[in-house]
Amino acid sequence: MPDSATPNPLLAEWTTPFGLPPFEAIATEQFPPAFEAALAAHRRELEAIAATSEAPSFTNTIEALERSGRTLRRVALTFFNLAGTDTDAEIQAIQRQIAPVLARHQNAIYQDTSLFARIGDLYDARHGLDLSAEQVRVLERYHTGFVRNGAALDEPARERLGAIAERQATLGTRFAQNMLADEQAYTLVLDGEADLAGLPPFVRDAAASAAAARGLDGKHVVTLARSSIEPFLTFSSRRDLREQAFTAWISRGESGGATDNRAIIQEIVALRAERARLLGYPSFAHYRLADSMAGSPETALELLHSVWTPARERAMADAAELQAIAQEEGSNTPLRPWDWRYFAEQRRSARFAMAPGEVEPYLPLDGMIEAAFFTAERLFGLRFEPQTDLRLYHPDVRAWAVIDRDGRHLGLFLGDYFARPSKRSGAWMSAYRSQEKLAGDIRPIITNVMNFSKPAPGEPALLGFDDARTLFHEFGHALHGLLSDVTYPYLAGTSVDRDFVELPSQLFEHWLEQPAILQRFARHYRTNEPMPLSLIERLKAARNADQGFATVEYTACALVDLELHLLPESPDLDITTFESESLARLGMPSAIVMRHRPPHFAHLFSGGGYAAGYYSYMWSEVLDADGFAAFEEAGDPFDPALALRLREHVYAAGNRQPPAEAYRAFRGRDPLPQALLAKRGFLQPA
């Protein structure tokens, strides 16, 4: 335990390389006093802004707000990144304690009438203040943020909004911790050759490594990490074991015990509806989408239904084909959700002459990381220099300095690629520090977190093509943070509309399939031979082989999300019944389950960043499909002029301008939605 007289490293000046948190010097018990001190310092800064006798100006109000809270932001980013990637019981206890405190602090800012009055005066006079376009934008975003958080309401309504936010913070933390507990608690132990039937070597190796990590040498383990369970469901010929694993996977957060999330969902949904009503909206979905590209839930629903209909038709036809394959193999039982991936793989292997495990040896993790770096170099002129002497938070984490084409240091990139019990599931991008120029040339520290299966010592991690696509997706988010070139922190990097934030990530995925990338970096991990052109062509041909399934399992989530958040206040909500009735109205195919069922739908209920906004992946897909079409029309996936506009108006621009304007500045016009249907194979390109 650190000496109480020793300065808290979280509050001291960091002299570490690149300004990294001093991970080796930080003890978990130092976070509560660091939060306490940082919160007090921020309150003093805010009180000084609100109490000044000077007339409101951009400098003494907006810039002062932007300069405030730096210590708190640094402490919070460090803590919550660690809570997501390397947690334990002590960190989780602090997380439960601090979440409502931070929510209360945030409410106090946005509901400070003195601050709002100053911002309102500036907002009303903004066009006569001789401000730059970026200054006008940050002022407008501050005003919108205050209004949407209740600053214009009367005191009782503001107090109630504050109480709602605190309670939601507590519930969201509990939801996430319950989900992690369920994931940690389950393993499917495969004992002997009979349990391994059908599994190719790369799946067996990953399962053996997972078993060894749990002290089960000589056995194999399937976990609830997507990179573990999906390959098992795809290749295992043991239907009984597939059913066991699948049932556990879709039942996370629905145990009936202490980690059951259904009552939490009920309360969160009711609180969101109440919040929306207090702010003058008919539903939480209307509130959330009023400040988005879509503008309204009706517009988002229109897009989703335009895709749902052809996707469902395709999925139903596919289900009939897979049922026939199952019958040919001697199965007379109806196709069930734990069968789909297995028989879809049988069909894909037969139709496109692809053997199980044929692709993975050509996609070692290191090769795919280099492929992502090379793509960023060709598009944007970036170099990634390995940093092997940094003290990071876990031995698996790797670091690269990012250098621009002119030799200037752009930022630091961290990669945390392997699953472990202390890490929450999924894949994401985050920041330990965001870019800005207000306090000097502050360069970002950006991290990508994955949950790939860790290989045995001395062996490479081999990725499936979907895993490689996930790596490119998250690296697209990372580039959005690394290339950010704005003055004000409020506008930096990924601080954009939710239905625009997925454009940089989903767009970057397209380059994975380019022959210039695959032929150079998809190399057999033993022979170093490049992936054969014939295999590349078969991969591309198979891209939409199961697109009906993929689109249905995603779109069902987005539609249920919006329908749930269109509800008025409903304290008696039974989420299980709501889910089943919603899917019945949609005509959900019986052999497909939502990609994320509500009890473990972290996008919606663990912090709620995507609540009433899960549609945004598809909204952004309209943009990314249309955006990459520009490179196809140019005949060069690395067209320099297009890449320059893409960097300037999308990856580097942060939230300097409304997203529709940013897209038009890159593309030269609004997006054409037909590109989405063509990309998913539901519409032949013209």
Q: What is the mean pLDDT of residues 271-284?
A: 97
Render pLDDT for 174-194 as a digit per residue (tens, 0 to 9).
999 999 999 999 999 999 999
Render pLDDT for 333-345 as a digit per residue (tens, 0 to 9).
999 999 999 999 9
Check pLDDT > 70 for residue 570: yes
What is residue 4's predicted lDDT score, i.e. its pLDDT?
A: 58
Collect all residues with Cβ–Cβ distance below 8 Å to 197 and sequence separation of at least 6: 236, 237, 238
- Tell me the two tokens of residue 330: 């001697």
Q: Is residue 7 part of a domain?
A: no
Collect all residues with Cβ–Cβ distance below 8 Å to 321 and sequence separation of at least 6: 347
At 204, is the pLDDT very low, low, confident or very high (cuts 50, 70, 90)? very high
Q: Which of 604, 602, 619, 631 is nearest to 502 (CA)?
A: 619
Collect all residues with Cβ–Cβ distance below 8 Å to 673 and sequence separation of at least 6: 303, 306, 622, 626
Instruction: Quote the DSSP letter at residue 651.
Output: I
* Alpha-carbon gap, residue 486 to 480, rounded angstroms: 12
pLDDT-above-90 percentage for the chain: 91
Final residue belonging to a domain, choices 592, 614, 636: 614
Q: Which of 159, 132, 126, 169 is nearest to 144 (CA)?
A: 126
If asked whether residues 365 and 496 sit together in one domain, one would say: yes
If asked whether residues 439 and 511 sit together in one domain, one would say: yes
Q: Is residue 242 part of a domain?
A: yes
If asked whether residues 281 and 140 sit together in one domain, one would say: no
Check pLDDT > 90 for residue 681: no
What is residue 446's predicted lDDT score, i.e. its pLDDT?
A: 98
* Alpha-carbon gap, residue 227 to 258, rounded angstroms: 27
What is residue 31's predicted lDDT score, i.e. its pLDDT?
A: 98
Collect all residues with Cβ–Cβ distance below 8 Å to 670 and sequence separation of at least 6: 660, 663, 664
What is residue 2's predicted lDDT score, i.e. its pLDDT?
A: 53
Q: What is the mean pLDDT of residues 558-579?
A: 93
If asked whether residues 218 and 335 sit together in one domain, one would say: no
Model pTM score: 0.94
CATH number at residue 490: 1.10.1370.40
Q: Is the dihedral of CA 85, 86, 92, 94 positive or negative?
A: negative
Question: Which stretch of DSSP H or E encloses residue 432?
Answer: strand 428-433
If asked whether residues 283 and 346 sit together in one domain, one would say: yes
If asked whether residues 370 and 507 sit together in one domain, one would say: yes
What is residue 3's predicted lDDT score, i.e. its pLDDT?
A: 54
What is residue 675's predicted lDDT score, i.e. its pLDDT?
A: 86
What is residue 686's predicted lDDT score, i.e. its pLDDT?
A: 45
C-alpha to C-alpha distances, 514 to 120, 510, 511, 565, 632, nearest whole angstrom: 50, 7, 5, 39, 11
Q: Is residue 225 part of a domain?
A: yes
Q: Which of 239, 166, 242, 231 is nearest to 203 (CA)?
A: 231
Q: Which of 681, 668, 673, 663 is nearest to 633 (CA)?
A: 668
Query: Counting beta carbons within 10 angstroms of the beta carbon of residue 386, is it exposed (0 to 12), middle (13 to 18) or buried (19 or more)?
Result: exposed
If asked whether residues 29 and 70 sit together in one domain, one would say: yes
Q: Is residue 1 part of a domain?
A: no
- Tell me the two tokens of residue 196: 């391994």
Q: What is the mean pLDDT of residues 104-110?
A: 95
Render pLDDT for 4-36 as a digit per residue (tens, 0 to 9).
567 999 999 999 999 999 999 999 999 999 999
If asked whether residues 345 and 367 sit together in one domain, one would say: no
- Tell me the two tokens of residue 159: 């107090």
Least confident of 91-95, 486-490, 677-681: 677-681
Instruction: Name the phi and psi angles at 64, rounded to 5.
Output: -65, -40
What is residue 685's predicted lDDT score, i.e. its pLDDT?
A: 45
* Alpha-carbon gap, residue 637 to 9, rounded angstroms: 46
At 558, is the pLDDT very low, low, confident or very high (cuts 50, 70, 90)? very high
CB atoms closer than 10 angstroms to residue 145: 15
At 503, is the pLDDT very low, low, confident or very high (cuts 50, 70, 90)? very high
Residue 636's region, left for phi above 0, alpha for psi from -120 to 50, else beta, is beta
Check pLDDT > 80 for residue 94: yes
* Alpha-carbon gap, residue 463 to 677, rounded angstroms: 27
What is residue 477's predicted lDDT score, i.e. its pLDDT?
A: 98
Contact assessment for residue 157 and residue 213, using Cβ atoms and an 8 Å cutoff? no
Collect all residues with Cβ–Cβ distance below 8 Å to 298 and sequence separation of at least 6: none
- Tell me the two tokens of residue 102: 């931070």
Overall number of domains in the chain: 5
If asked whether residues 461 and 594 sit together in one domain, one would say: no
Q: Is residue 457 part of a domain?
A: yes
Pairing of strands 383-386, 398-403: antiparallel
Q: Is residue 490 part of a domain?
A: yes
Least confident of 110-114, 165-169, 328-332, 585-589: 328-332
What is residue 131's predicted lDDT score, i.e. its pLDDT?
A: 98
CATH number at residue 129: 1.20.1050.40
Q: Is residue 386 part of a domain?
A: yes
| Catalytic (active-site) positions | 474
Length of the chain: 686
What is residue 8's predicted lDDT score, i.e. its pLDDT?
A: 96
What is residue 396's predicted lDDT score, i.e. its pLDDT?
A: 96
Q: Is residue 173 part of a domain?
A: no
If asked whether residues 65 and 26 sit together in one domain, one would say: yes
- Tell me the two tokens of residue 353: 């002459």
Q: Which of 72, 54, 153 is nearest to 112 (CA)?
A: 153
If asked whether residues 81 and 140 sit together in one domain, one would say: yes
Work out the mean pLDDT of the chain and round it to a whole number.
95
C-alpha to C-alpha distances, 434 to 212, 333, 412, 445, 480, nearest whole angstrom: 38, 54, 11, 7, 11
Render pLDDT for 534-555 as a digit per residue (tens, 0 to 9).
999 998 888 888 999 999 999 9
Q: Tokens 């032929």 sit at which residue?
A: 519
Contact assessment for residue 428 and residue 609, using Cβ atoms and an 8 Å cutoff? no
What is residue 543's predicted lDDT score, i.e. its pLDDT?
A: 82
Render pLDDT for 434-448 as a digit per residue (tens, 0 to 9).
999 999 999 999 999
Q: Tokens 């996936």 sit at which residue?
A: 637
If asked whether residues 237 and 208 sit together in one domain, one would say: yes
Instruction: Name the phi and psi angles at 107, rounded to 5.
Output: -60, -40
DSSP 3-state assignment of 416?
strand
Check pLDDT > 90 for residue 198: yes
> In terms of residue numbers, what domain contains 49?
17-110+112-148
